[in-house]
Amino acid sequence: MTFRKKFDLTLRNMQRILLKKKPSDLMIYIMGK
């Protein structure tokens, strides 16, 4: 549960950072996973 919560927070922070650069890069990263 705590791991999931921490993972979600990390993912959210990564999305925020990547969105500042290129939204397409974020989509490619997610699809890659």
Average pLDDT over residues 3-17: 87
More confident: 8 or 15: 8
Q: What is the Cα–Cα distance from 3 to 24, expressed in whole angstroms?
A: 27
pLDDT tens digits, 13-24: 888 877 776 667
Residue-number span of the structural domain to which 9 is assigned: 2-32
Report how many domains make up the chain: 1
Q: What mean pLDDT, rounded, does the chain reach?
A: 79
Q: How far is CA 13 from CA 2, 22, in A?
A: 17, 14
Give me the pLDDT at residue 1, please: 64
